[in-house]
Structure formats: C-alpha cells, structure tokens
Structure 1
Amino acid sequence: MANVNSKRGGPLQGVRVVELSKVWAGPETGKHFAFLGAEVIKIESQGAIDLTRYDSLTGDINKARGFQSVNPQKLSAQINMKSEKGIQLILDLLKETDILVENLRPGAMDRLGLGYDVARKINPGLVYISMGMYGNDGPLAYQTGYAPCFNAVGGLSALVGYEGQAPTGINVRYADSTYGTAAAYAGLVALLHSRRTGVGQFVDVSACETMTGMIADTVMEYTMNGVEHACDGNRHAEMAPHGVYPCQGEDWISIAVSSDEAWSALADVMGLAGDDRFASLASRTANIEELDRLVGEWTKSQDVGELVAALQNKGIAAGKSQNTLDLISDQTFWQRGFYPDVTEFDGETKTIVGPGAKMTRGAAITDGAPKLGDHTDYVLGEILGLSEEEQKKLNDEGIMS
C-alpha cells in the first residue's frame, strides 16, 4: 500500500477529495486535484466497478490501462454503496472532506441519500461538484451520455471536418478531459470561497454547456448575426496561413502565422516578399487557397525537423505534427518532467503522463493508480477512527465488498 501519509506538497496539500465517479470525466477532475497535491479518495466496490477497470488485454482490474491512465496518485476505498451502512460510512467521511466529485446517473446521489441537501447539513463547508450531461436543471437533465454525445450536442462535432465536406467528428476524449478540467477549475473557485467564508457550494457542471463554451464565438456570431459556420479544416479567422503541410517522407508541419510581422518573416524565407496578394491578413484570407497551395509546395521538399527549427528561430509558430512515438521521444517533454515515474501498488515502476503545467510549488507525483480497495483500512481506521474489530465486522457483513 502507498504511503498515504506522505507530504507531497503542492497548493492543495491538506485538502481531501472524495470521488464518486466513473469512466473518464469525473476521474479526470479528481486527477487534477491529485496532481495539485490533494488527497483524493476514490470510493469503489466490486459490485459497481468502474468500466475502465475492465481490460481485455490484461484481464486484471488492477492493471487496466484505461483506469491507470486517469487515476494516478489516488487512493481507493472499497465501500458497498448499495448498503445502508456503506452509505453511512460515506456520509461520515464527508464530514472530514473538503470536496466531493460525483458523475453518477442523474438523480442517483439523491436516491442513495447522498444528495447535496443531505451533505451540506453534515458539512456546511463542503464543495459538492455534480457532473452531468445537461447538469441538474432543465427538461433534459434526466438524460445521461458519454463524450461523443457531449461533442455533438455541444456543437463541436458539426465544425470538425474539411471545407465543403460533411463533419467528420472529433476525438471522443477531448470532451471528457475538457469537461473534467472545467469541473476542477470550478471546484477550485468554490473551494476558495469556502475557505474565505466557511460556506460550501453546489457546483453544477453540464458537459454539453462546457463544450459549447469552447466555441462561444461561433455561437455568438450565429446568435447576433445569423451566421452559420461550416467545417473549414484548419482555417483560422485571425491567422493565415494556419494549417498542416506535408514535408519529406510522411512527416507534416503545423504553421500558424499570427501577425503581419510573422508573415513578413515567412515570406522572406519562401521568396514571397512583396507579393501584394498576401500583404495583410485580409488579403491572405481572401487568397487562402492559393496561399495554402504555395506553402504546401514549399514545405513538401524539406526535412520537418530542420524546417521547424528554422521557422521557430525566425519567430514563426511551427511544430512537427507528432504521432504517439514522436510525443514519447520528444526530449523537451522529458526535460520538463512531463513524464514522471510512479510506483504501482505492486512495487512496479512505470512512466505516466503528468500534469500539463509546472508550478513553483508543485506536488510530487509518486504513485500510480490504486488497486481496488487498497486504502480501505486507512479510510476506515485513520480517518473514521474505526477499530480493527469494527472494520472486520463490516467486512463480514459485506459492506467492504
């Protein structure tokens, strides 16, 4: 079992989070808190196991790759939420908790006796984060869904595709990770309020509204001006050129020109200096198809690594379009500690994807994802103060199953 009493530092050291969530978005929220130094306790049970613990390759619920990727640095307490005593244990735990994260089916928390009205009575300072497809209000609040639903209903899927073609959709995990990150941010704001006032908050996070917020300019342009946007590939309203262009072999380069100064630098390299067709953003946008063609013709004979370095040295935003192997072998990520090594519950060391930002007082990332129920004794004994005899009795009654 991991050393749960270790002091890892970070801005959330000393903050306790109880996570009643499954699959991706809710656990993503908990992962952000854990990476900031909070003690995140994931409540699980054998009878209602997280789907991501199933892995056809490993066949081991404690070695499932999907679960491991989104649950590092967390604790696992095995409590049967289908029992009255199990629910009471969770309520007792909430008395000692700063933040609750839940993404169960709409209405499930109330039916279990764990709704916000109950929780705030036992802990007035609790930050209660409730995550649902449509949130907790409105005619569609009863519905549930997964990331593809969030992308589609939120409006993103309709914008992802090549110009003049039907939408192609979007990577499903974008919705879960974005939604989970938004919930974590909202929870931090509520935690700050709680620390200042002693009063907690109910944080109602809608997946679909979160995704719509990612295209707020598109929504407002339709609302105010009736403009309906269609798929436009990699085009950008405020940058030109802005796209991905072929290089030697099968490599591609991303180039984003955000100012006339950057364009002037690129034009000098390409031999297009003084070409009035591309002198301003407006003219480059008006001639974007020809501009993209010229850029693509110019890049396709060049080595992507050399070209990226040359453009970056001139202040032009450019980068190789990286596949998984490129990302793993990118020395910049390793030098910045983006891939920390963690120790699994069985002592095995592995490398994970760490937090996306570095902090001057960041938390140490030391532990992998927990084994099911690996920290039940700690939660029941050290936090709730139950004796070994009391714990054994609960276990014999199936409360820990």
Structure 2
Amino acid sequence: MTEPARKLPLEGIRVIDVSQVMAGPFACMLLGDLGADVIKVEPPTGDQTRSSMGFKMKGDDSLGFIAMNRNKRSIVIDLKSEEGRETYLKLVETADVVIENYRPGALSRLGVGYDVVSKINPKIIYASISGFGQSGPWWERPGFDLMAQAACGVMSITGHPDSPPTKAGAPVADIGCSLFTVYAVLSAYIGREKSGEGQYIDASLYEAGLSFAVWDICDYWGTGRIPGRIGTGNRMAAPYQAVQASDGHFVFGANNDRAFGKLCALLERPDLVDHPDYVTNAKRLEHREALIVELEKSFRTRTREEWVETLLAAGIPAGPILDYAEALGNEHAQARGMVMPIDHPVEGRVNNIGFPVKLMGTPQEVRRHPPLLDEHREEILAEIGLARQGASEDA
C-alpha cells in the first residue's frame, strides 16, 4: 500500500511579501518553496524588478523577477489610499508572517507598520529588511547591496593587493540577509508555537555582510592588523587559492602540514617541505607570495584538467574555475537539479535556479509560476471575506 505524500513543512502558513527587488523577495520565495502560501502585495506599478532588470522577454516581466518569485500569488494594493490600507490590514489579519523591505519607518508613516499590524494580529511574525537596520546612526541610509558591502568591510578585502576595493561578484549582502531573515522567521515561528506570541525581526544587509567575514574579523581582532586584499588566498591557511597552470587557473588547498607534505611529494619538490619559510602553516602564510611563485613553476608544466585530476586522486582538494555556462552546464549541476525549467503563462518554458537545499522527505516543488501582476486579486479578496472587486480598485 502506497503511503500518502507528506505535506511540505510550511504548508498552512501564510506569508505576506511586501518587498521588492532581491533580499525580501528571495526570502519569501524560499518560504514558498517549503510550502508557505506567499501573497505578494505589490504597488500599482508592480515590483520594480518586473521591469528593471534589462532582460527583454516576451511579456512585461524580467527574467530577474521570474527567478525570485515562484510559488507566490500577486495582488496589487495601493497603500497610499485609504481603501488600499483597509484591504491590506484585512489581509494581514489572516497572516502568520509579514516580510517587508521599505525604507525604515515608511510603512508606519502610511499607517500599516508593525505598531498597527501587531495590534490587529498579536501573533504576527513581522520582519523588516533594510540596509542598516531600524536603529543606529545609519538607519535612514538607502539599503542596497553595494552600499552594504562597502560599509561592512567586504569590499576592502575583495580583490588583489594592487587592485582597488572590489565588490563581491554575487550580491552577498542581499542574499545573506535573505537567508538570515528566513532563519529568524522560522525560529520565531517555532517560538510562537510554544509561547503563542509573535515578534518583530530587524534584519539588515550591513549585519549580514559583517557576519560573513569571520576569518577576516578574527584576524583583525587577533593581530590588530587591518586585513587587506589577498586575491584568492585564505586568511588562515596557505597554500589555499587559485594558481596558474599551462592553460589557465585552477584552485586547490593544501592547508595543513600533512597535505602540504603530500603536495610537495606529488610535485617532486622535497626542497619545499623542510624550507624554513614553509615548514609550518604560520610560516607559509607569512611567505605566501614566494611560495606560490615556487609552486607555479611546477603547475605551469601541465593543464588545469590534468592538475585537478592528479590532485584529487592524491586526496588534495582541487577544482576548476568555471564560468556560468560551465557551472550550469556540467553534469553535476544537472544531476543536482540546479537548472530547473518552469512553465510560465506568457514566457512558456523558462529556466529557474534549482532549490539550493533538498528536503528528502518532503521535496520542494514549483506549485505556482512567478505571478503576473495582480493575477490573484479576486481569489485573495474572496479568501479574506471582501466583496469581488475589479482589478484596478486599489491600484
């Protein structure tokens, strides 16, 4: 007898997504992937990512919007209108979670902030995402990934020693804040199951970026030296970075004495093992640049692929440096489902980035395509007990 399918873990939880662009929408998408009913509340012009990402599609929505808004429903509510605010507050009465990323204080000035929402729904878990948090001297600063990376120190350590400060290629502050917000929301929800009480969550891109810099901050606290840019190197171990082969670069790590000895034997460089500048990890860190010059004398004799295979066979971590065509097109990405085609009512079959973690007992699925603007107005209004309304009444 076949066992009935288990419900997704967040099934029955309603999340109101009052956010735009990346940090908020990505967090809400992750909750939707886990089964939550995510209702995306959009202004009359829609989430600005629908039209601002620069990728020309068949319809009005960009590929960037499609990538961050699966498993959601959309309703347009104009929070600047009295009728819109009434509709919104009626909706949050039915919710478990609200996630918003307006400028700090903006929703309170409109009369729909946490101070109001928590009175009509005391069990609400309410997360505000901003650039620098809801308090402190910088609380009013605009919240963009670039500004957060600059302020939290990430840009100061990214790049090579002779290069200017460099933004991390991926939006680490935005996505990091998304992940910390999901962790906080789920923790608050578990806590509510015990206490019966909701709570307010203050999440910021700035603090997310700071939290990622564990090695660099510990190095600063431990030595008193301000960390600089070290390219692809590691603050705590050497050799552990990208190196030059005959046809390009690859990465490897021999980040302890045993692995370094194994590497030197493999390269037939016994002179390096007992060299006074390389005999310990501390010494190798101190003389990293000279060590890499010596190692690359050997690495430049063969191709990247040959070295990666040789090092892996010897038990030394190594890997190729892939561009996105290679990272998405390789057999491992395909086997892990990281290119996930979804059906869209306007665009047809569109690729999405796959689920970043896999729940074996309750596997995630795309239950809903990324919504068209205001697509679910009538069914959402019906669910909260409001009369059937035209699509533009709150717009």
Normalised by the size of structure 1, how large is the TM-score? 0.89
Cα distance change, pair 13–110 in 1 and its aligned pair in 2 (3 A): same
Q: Which blocks of at least 5 consecutive residues in structure 2 are unaligned?
A: none
Cα distance change, pair 119–35 in 1 and its aligned pair in 2 (3 A): same
Contact 1:148/1:172, CA 8 A, preserved across alignment: no
Letter in 2 for 1:254: V
Letter in 1 for 2:371: P
Q: Which residue of 2 aligns with 1:374?
A: 375
Cα distance change, pair 51–348 in 1 and its aligned pair in 2 (3 A): closer
Q: Which residue of 1 aligns with 2:344?
A: 344
Cα distance change, pair 158–46 in 1 and its aligned pair in 2 (3 A): same
Q: Which residue of 2 aligns with 1:144?
A: 142
Letter in 1 for 2:305: G
Q: Which residue of 2 aligns with 1:4?
A: none
Q: Which residue of 2 aligns with 1:237?
A: 235
Q: Which residue of 2 aligns with 1:215?
A: 213
Letter in 1 for 2:388: Q
CA distance in 1, matches of 2:301, 2:86: 67
Cα distance change, pair 259–224 in 1 and its aligned pair in 2 (3 A): closer
Q: Which residue of 2 aligns with 1:70?
A: 68
Q: Which blocks of at least 5 consecutive residues in structure 1 are unaligned?
A: 1-6
Q: Which residue of 2 aligns with 1:258?
A: 255
Match of 1:131 among 129, 132, 140: 129
Q: Within the alignment, does 1:108 sit opposite 2:106 as a pair?
A: yes
CA distance in 2, matches of 1:85, 1:195: 33
Match of 1:89 among 71, 87, 90: 87
Contact 1:343/1:367, CA 8 A, preserved across alignment: no
Contact 2:145/2:174, CA 8 A, preserved across alignment: yes
CA distance in 1, matches of 2:391, 2:6: 31
- With 49-58 and 228-237 compared, the bigger mean Cα shift is at 49-58
Deviation at 1:184, TM superposition (A): 1.4
Q: Which residue of 1 aligns with 2:366?
A: 365
- With 121-130 and 291-300 compared, the bigger mean Cα shift is at 291-300
Q: Which residue of 1 aligns with 2:269?
A: 272
Contact 2:132/2:143, CA 8 A, preserved across alignment: no
Deviation at 1:247, TM superposition (A): 2.8
Deviation at 1:8, TM superposition (A): 9.1
Cα distance change, pair 247–146 in 1 and its aligned pair in 2 (3 A): same
CA distance in 1, matches of 2:223, 2:280: 25
Contact 1:76/1:375, CA 8 A, preserved across alignment: yes
What percentage of aligned pairs have identical amino acids? 26
Deviation at 1:149, TM superposition (A): 0.3
Q: Which residue of 2 aligns with 1:50?
A: 48
Deviation at 1:172, TM superposition (A): 5.7
SS at match of 1:356: coil
Contact 2:10/2:34, CA 8 A, preserved across alignment: yes
Count of aligned residue pairs for this structure pair: 387
Pairwise CA RMSD: 2.3
SS at match of 1:120: helix
Contact 2:233/2:242, CA 8 A, preserved across alignment: no
Cα distance change, pair 200–321 in 1 and its aligned pair in 2 (3 A): same
Alpha-carbon displacement from aligned partner over 1:353-386 (angstroms, at most 9, x marks no partner): 12222222232135442111112222112x2133
Letter in 1 for 2:241: G
CA distance in 1, matches of 2:222, 2:307: 42
Q: Which residue of 2 aligns with 1:328?
A: 328
CA distance in 2, matches of 1:269, 1:224: 34
CA distance in 1, matches of 2:304, 2:38: 42
CA distance in 2, matches of 1:346, 1:51: 17
Contact 2:59/2:346, CA 8 A, preserved across alignment: no
Deviation at 1:54, TM superposition (A): 3.1
Q: Which has the higher contact order (CA 8 A, sep 6+)?
A: 1
Cα distance change, pair 279–217 in 1 and its aligned pair in 2 (3 A): closer
